[in-house]
C-alpha cells in the first residue's frame, strides 16, 4: 500500500514538513495546525548537529532550534524537540506519527518529494561541478 504523503505547514523561512499520520493502513488521522494548537504543543523532529540543534555550555542552540523558538513565539504554541540519528530516521519517525514536522535543512530531491511535502525554501543553492 502506498504511504501517505505528509502535509506541510506554511511559515516563511522554514523548511519544515508537517505530517499526515497513519494510525492503521485503512484509517488516516490528519493532524494539522488547528489540532496541534488544540493539543497545546508542536513536536518537531531534528538531528543533534552543529547547525540544527546542539547544547553549548548548558545552553540549547542551533539554526532550526532558533527558528522553532521564533515560530513558538509567533503562534504561542510550545515546541517539543525529538532527536533522530539521521534523516532516514526523521522520515520514519514522522511517518509513525512521533512528530508533527521535520525541522532540518535538506535538499529537495524527486525521491523525497514523492514521500514528503516541503514548504517554500528559506534559501536556495545550486550544485555546480568544479
pTM: predicted TM-score of the whole model, two decimal places: 0.72
Q: Percent of the chain at pLDDT above 90?
A: 45
Can you give the pLDDT at residue 89?
A: 95
> Between 66 and 121, where is the model more confident?
66
Half-sphere exposure of 56 (CA within 13 A, CB side): 9
| pLDDT interval class at 14 (50, 70, 90) | very low
Can you give the pLDDT at residue 7?
A: 33
Q: 122 near 42, Cβ under 8 Å?
A: no
Of 83, 108, 92, nearest in space to 16 by CA? 108
What's the CA gap between 101 and 110, in Å, rounded? 19
Residue 48, C-alpha cell as written in the block: 543533534
DSSP 72: H
Q: If you average pLDDT over residues 38-55, what whole number do you get?
A: 93
Q: If you average pLDDT over residues 101-115, what whole number do you get?
A: 86
Of 16, 20, 18, nearest in space to 52 by CA? 16
Burial group, residue 59, by CB count within 10 angstroms (0-12, 13-18, 19+): exposed
| pLDDT interval class at 20 (50, 70, 90) | very low
Sign of CA dihedral 111, 114, 117, 120: positive
**Which tens digits make up the pLDDT trace of 51-100?**
899 999 999 999 999 999 999 999 999 999 999 999 899 999 998 999 99
Amino acid at each position: 500500500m502506498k504511504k501517505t504523503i505528509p502535509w506541510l505547514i506554511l511559515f516563511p523561512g522554514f523548511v519544515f514538513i508537517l505530517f499526515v499520520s497513519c494510525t492503521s493502513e485503512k484509517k488516516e488521522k490528519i493532524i494539522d495546525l488547528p489540532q496541534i494548537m488544540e493539543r497545546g504543543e508542536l513536536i518537531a523532529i531534528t538531528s543533534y548537529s552543529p547547525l540544527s540543534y546542539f547544547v553549548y555550555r548548558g545552553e540549547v542552540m542551533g539554526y532550526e532550534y532558533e527558528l522553532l523558538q521564533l515560530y513558538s513565539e509567533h503562534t504561542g504554541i510550545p515546541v517539543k524537540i525529538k532527536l533522530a540519528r539521521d534523516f532516514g530516521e526523521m522520515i520514519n519517525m514522522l511517518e509513525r506519527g512521533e512528530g508533527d514536522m521535520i525541522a532540518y535543512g535538506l535538499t529537495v530531491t524527486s525521491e523525497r518529494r514523492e514521500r514528503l511535502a516541503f514548504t517554500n525554501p528559506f534559501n536556495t543553492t545550486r550544485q555546480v561541478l568544479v
